[in-house]
Amino acid sequence: MTTPKQPPLDAPDDQWLVYADALQEAGDPRGELIALNQKVTGGADPKDRDAFVQQHAAELLGPAAEYFGAYQLDWRRCVLEMAAVRVGPQDDAAAMTRALLASPAAEGLWKLSLVGVPSGSHDAIDLSGAVAEVVKAMPESCRYVALVDDKANKSQSLISRDYDPGENLVQFGPLTELVALSGLERLHIVTADPHQLDFEGLDAPGLRSFTLHGLRFAESYDAPSQIATQLASIKWPKLEDFEARLAETWTCSVPDETGAYVAVYAEMDEDESYYDEYDDDGWNEGVNYTEELAGLMESLKQTPLKRLALTSFDSSGQLLEALRSHGLPETLEELDLSESSLGAEAVQFFLDNKELFGKLKRLVLEDTLIGDDDAKKLADLGPEIEHSEGSGACYRFLVGME
């Protein structure tokens, strides 16, 4: 019996089930995988599917079977739709990535995540070799790459004894060749200190979406920070979605280490009650966002930007004043100012500047200090309002002063 040709991924389910039956008759494990994935799509627990993949890893994943335990795999039909390579301190990131990209299951891969997973506060993980493998062999189907420091992703603060924190535990290496890939449309970066990345003059011809989540961004000085200046220099003519977490710098006597990226003060005293006695939320001198974002806002106006997300800032009045001073891109449809310290005074600001914000289709104010009653006053502003009351800005760079 001749196995029928594989249908397109978006073909109707019945075509794929016919194909699955043919593969099963031929003894090809992809047939059972298609059937199992169909059940998962219908709401079934994926544990049976995952167990089957592990049992038949050599046939389904080819060279990637050797590193099966290091991958997080999301399937569509019988090919990978999304995959994450989770790299520990002792792992060969390049070999793990190379094997995955050479897998027959990766022919339809849409999103690839390279994730550094430090196991301690001093583990160093270099993902530059993995990034180089992506540059050499990224599948034509791949449009989305994520570079992630897992520890930073789970932290709310970066702690340092001075204003120049130590090196990031997870290094991504040069980004020049990666962003230059014409097929790359979305880049998502999660890091501890974005200032340690080099964005200067990057050429990203195909990039449509860019996200930068870090634990340090804006400084309490008039001059624009290095990261803001470098982002303004990127060439991205197709950019439609820009998101940056504006984590501000705070000074503390003894910073609270809960949820911190690097708990440097742990070296002072292992007795946790020590920190309870000297609990200090710190102080923030405020950020001049009119200066900080001047170049970036001008750069974004040269793109077909539809969504702008500036989140987790504490200097709310300064940020709003920067938006009024610089204006918004003419193409902008959604402005997201979530996870910030915007409060009741921001509502009046929006209403007083209706000519600026009224043209938007959507204004997102999730997890801010704006109360529900105040948010209702924005009903006639123009855009759809997405709001929830929360704790405000929680991501920050804490500098310990002893």
Q: Reduce the DSSP state of residue 227 to 3 states and report it.
A: helix
pLDDT at 391 over 50: yes
pLDDT-derived band of residue 49, with 50, 70 and 90 as boundaries? very high
Phi and psi of 68, rounded to 5°?
A: -50, -45
Contact 29, 56 (CB under 8 A): yes
For the record, the structure tokens of 273 come out as: 């009650």
Report the pLDDT averaged over residues 239-262. Answer: 82
Domain-by-domain residue ranges, the chain? 13-49, 217-402
Question: Residue 376: how many CB atoms within 10 A of its CB?
Answer: 11
Residue 262: its pLDDT value, please? Answer: 64
What b/e sequence results for 154-184 when a residue is b if at least 16 CB atoms lie within 10 Å of its CB, and e otherwise? ebbbbbbeeeebbebbbbbbebeebbebeeb
Tell me: pLDDT of 71 over 80. Answer: yes
Q: In this structure, what DSSP letter does residue 222 have? A: S
pLDDT tens for 251-308 read 887 555 667 776 543 333 334 443 343 445 678 889 999 999 999 999 999 999 999 9
Determine what percent of the chain is predicted with pLDDT higher than 90: 81
Tell me 290's DSSP state: H
Amino acid 277: pLDDT = 39
Q: Which pLDDT belongs to residue 266?
A: 34
Hunting for tokens 């950019």 — which residue is that? 239
Confidence of residue 394 (pLDDT cuts 50, 70, 90): confident
Beta bridge partners of 397: 158, 249
Among 49-63, 193-207, 213-227, the least confident range? 213-227
DSSP classification of residue 127? -
d(CA 155, CA 152): 5
Question: Is domain 217-402 annotated with CATH 3.30.530?
Answer: no
CA 64 – CA 25 distance, rounded (Å): 25
**pLDDT tens digits, one per residue of 16-37:** 999 999 999 999 999 999 999 9
